[in-house]
Amino acid sequence: MIERLKKYCGCISPSGCEDEIRELIIQDIQQIATRYEVDRMGNLIAFKKGRKTPDKKVVVSAHMDEVGLMVKYISDEGYIYFDPIGGIDPRVVGGRRVVIGDKRIYGVVASKAIHLQKKKERGMVVPLEEMYIDIGCDDKKSCEEVVSVGDVATFVPNFEEFGDGLIKSKAIDDRFGCALLVELMQEELEYDTYFAFVTCEEVGTDGAKQVAFNLRPDIAIAIEATTAGDVLGAPKSRYACELRKGAVISHIDGSTIYDKKLVEYALATAQENNIKCQLKNVIAGGNDASAYQRTAAGARVLAVSAPTRYIHSASNVVCKDDLFEIKKLVLALLQKGF
């Protein structure tokens, strides 16, 4: 799973441009899926036949897209101005290396040099609209030969294992979920199960809305990455979850109140199988579960997430052990059935 995660994190696939990651996933599932299709939104929906047909239709879902940047203007000097794709904190953007478009043009995000800043500007976070990307061009013409308005960019792929069993990379949110779904599809499942690799989660869960409308599942399990709070200076009362404590189960977040019986079922399953599991104890964020819960006839929803430091940055950080605990939990749920 770790090698697959590395491969998936290397894709340049922000919201609306999921082609690269989708093709990799298709290569990995075409021999193990009973069937699969790509819908008009670019969602990849796979079906895996199990030993039994369940009473309830279950879909396990992960989003393919990542946060990114879109080129909006090229200056006469050859600098590129941009807008964010998804929720990106300006504090994690300045000075970062990015890669732009199908031509894979590398650049660095910059802003006004400190010696040119006014006194009141120093120490302040530079707004995204005042940052620009330098790709080494001297003028607008040479820049426009390789970059166009509307091109998208992401942080440069940088997957690396470090420390005591940790991984850092851009796009672990939610390439981990995609890698996990493929791992689950390799198992001999007890029940028929749908697996949805969806688009545009970072800009409004648009892809999952279409999957929910078309599949009309009874139960939807969103596999996600969620913000960990175990960072220096944060009070424990504000820890949403912690690395090394296993799968994260949410009661409620910024867009969804999760099915209480499903939450209890997941916690009980974790306890029965000696799987590390924790509750998310801060109401924040949101994911595709909200789309499944609200679209068409609605669905009962559960989120199982990986605790992640520095989410939506160039260096998401997760613990490998947590990822495997999540795999064990979701597989145990699918094998027990609902």
Residues serving a catalytic function are: 201
Q: How far apart are CA 303 and CA 224, in angstroms?
A: 7
Instruction: Please identify which residue in the block is written with the tokens 């030969």.
Output: 145
Q: How many CB atoms lie within 10 A of CB 170?
A: 25
Q: Angle CA(209)–CA(211)–CA(217) in degrees, nearest 5?
A: 105
Half-sphere exposure of 220 (CA within 13 A, CB side): 31
**Could you tell me the two tokens for 55?**
């009473």
Q: List strands edge to edge, sheet with 160-162.
A: 160-162, 166-169, 316-319
Instruction: Please identify which residue in the block is written with the tokens 């696939």.
Output: 13
The DSSP line for 181-212 is HHHHHTS--SB-EEEEEES-GGGTSHHHHHHH
